[in-house]
Amino acid sequence: MYKDRWGYYFILPNVLLVVVFTLIPIIWSCLLSFQEYMPMGSKWIGLGNYVNVCQDLIFWRSMKNTIYYTVGVVPLGLALCMLLAVLIFPLRKGWQIFFKASLYLPGVTSGAVLALIWVWLFNPAFGLLNYLLSLVGLGPVMWLADARTAMPSIMLMSIVSGLGSTVILYLAALGGIPSTLYEAADIDGADAWVKFFRITLPLLKPTTLYALVMNTIYSFQVFTQIYMMTRGEPFYATSTVVYRIYETAFERLQFGLASAQAMILFVVIVAMAYLQFKYLSTDVEY
C-alpha cells in the first residue's frame, strides 16, 4: 500500500469533495432528524420527527405522487429511448450526430428555463398545446391547472426533455454488440423482430439496468419541474417528496422534520435500487 501511496494522493481531492459535500451533510442530516431545529439552539426529541412524518398525510400523498411520477416516467422514457436509439443507430454518421445533438440539447439547457417554456406551452387560455388541439376540434385541456392532468403534464415534459443522455447510452451499447451475432441470425433466417427480441434486447440489459436504476433515483428526486411549474398545486396533485422536504425546510424552517423526511426518502431509494439490482441484474458477456 505504501508503494501505491501516490495513487491515493491523486484521488484525495475527489475523496475530500465527497466527504465534505456529501458524506458529512448526510451524517449531519441524520443527526438533525432527531432534533427539533431552532436556529439559536436545537434540542433532541428522539423519534419525534419520524412520528410526525408518519402522521403527515401530505407527506404520504407526496410519496404516492412521486411513485406515480416514477412509474410513469421511467419505463415509458426507457422504452422511448431504446426505440429512438434503435431507429437512429442504422443511420449514417452525420444523421446520427444530428439526432444525438438534438435529443441531448434539452439536457444542457437549464431545467428552470425548460420549465418556464413548458409553463407557457401548457397555458390553458393562450398556450401552444391547446391552440394545436383546437385546430382539430379538441380541448381546451387545463393541463397544470386540473388535479387530474397536472401530474401527467409534468411527466410528459420530463419524458420529452430527458431523452438525450439515455439515448446516447443505448447508442453506445448498440455499437458494442458484435455484428457477427446479427450475421449468424441472418443466415438462420431471423427477421428484424426476432433479432431485436433475441439479440438486441438481452444484450442491452446491463445498460437498461443502469439506466433504470439511475432514472429511478432521479425521478424520486424530482424537484425543479414542480418548483418552477406548479409548486405542488393544484391541491397537492403535483406535490412530490423532495418538494415537500423543500417546503418543510425552507418555507417553514422545520429542518429537523425535513431531515426525517429526507432520511425516509433515502431508505426508499436504497430499497428500490436494491430490488432492481436483485431481480434484474445478470452477467451478460459478449
Partner 1 sequence: MTRVWRRILVVVLVVAVAVVAAASFSLGALAAEEPVKLKVWIYPLWLIHSGPDKGMTNEDWMLEKIEEFQKKYPNVDVELELLSWEGGGQKLTTAVASGTMPDIMYSVPVRVYAPKGVLEPIDEYLTESERGQYYPNILKELVIDGKLYALPFCASSLVLSINAELFEERGVPLPKEPDRSWTMDEFLDAAKKLTFDRDGDGRTDVYALGLNGKPAYWAMSFAFAFGGRLFNEDGSRFTFNTPEGLEGLQFMHDLVFRYKVVAPGVPGYNIADVWDLFLQRRIAMVPSSSILTNYVAGMRKPLKLVFVQFPHVKGKDPVTMLTVAGWSVFKQKNPYKRKVAMEFIKYLTNPENSKAAALMKYGPANRLSGNPFENDPNLSVVALYAKYAEVYIKANKPEMEEVVNNIWSAVYSRAMTPKQAIEYAEQRAKAILGYR
| 27 lines the binding site for partner 1 (CB under 8 A) | no
Q: Which of 229, 241, 257, 272 binds partner 1 (CB under 8 A)?
A: 229
Tell the smallest beta-carbon distance from residue 191 to partner 1 (Å).
48
Tell the smallest beta-carbon distance from residue 22 to partner 1 (Å).
17
Distance between CA atoms of 196 and 193, rounded to whole angstroms?
5
Smaller CB separation from partner 1, 121 or 185: 121
* Beta strands 43-44 and 35-36, pairing class: antiparallel
Distance between CA atoms of 116 and 100, rounded to whole angstroms?
24
Tell the smallest beta-carbon distance from residue 144 to partner 1 (Å).
4
Tell the smallest beta-carbon distance from residue 42 to partner 1 (Å).
11
* Integer angstrom CA distances of residue 90 from 82, 98, 140, 213, 277: 13, 13, 40, 27, 31
Smaller CB separation from partner 1, 86 or 233: 233
Q: Which of residues 133-152 bind partner 1 (CB under 8 A)?
A: 134, 140, 142-147, 150
| 257 lines the binding site for partner 1 (CB under 8 A) | no
Q: Which of 207, 230, 259, 261 binds partner 1 (CB under 8 A)?
A: 230
| 253 lines the binding site for partner 1 (CB under 8 A) | yes
Smaller CB separation from partner 1, 69 or 122: 122
> Which of 224, 260, 281, 266 has the alpha carbon at shortest distance from 49?
260
| 126 lines the binding site for partner 1 (CB under 8 A) | yes
Q: Which of 29, 96, 123, 221 binds partner 1 (CB under 8 A)?
A: 123
Tell the smallest beta-carbon distance from residue 126 to partner 1 (Å).
6
| 40 lines the binding site for partner 1 (CB under 8 A) | yes
Q: Give the residues lining the site for partner 1 (CB under 8 A).
A: 37-40, 119, 122-126, 134, 140, 142-147, 150, 229-231, 233-237, 247, 249-253, 255
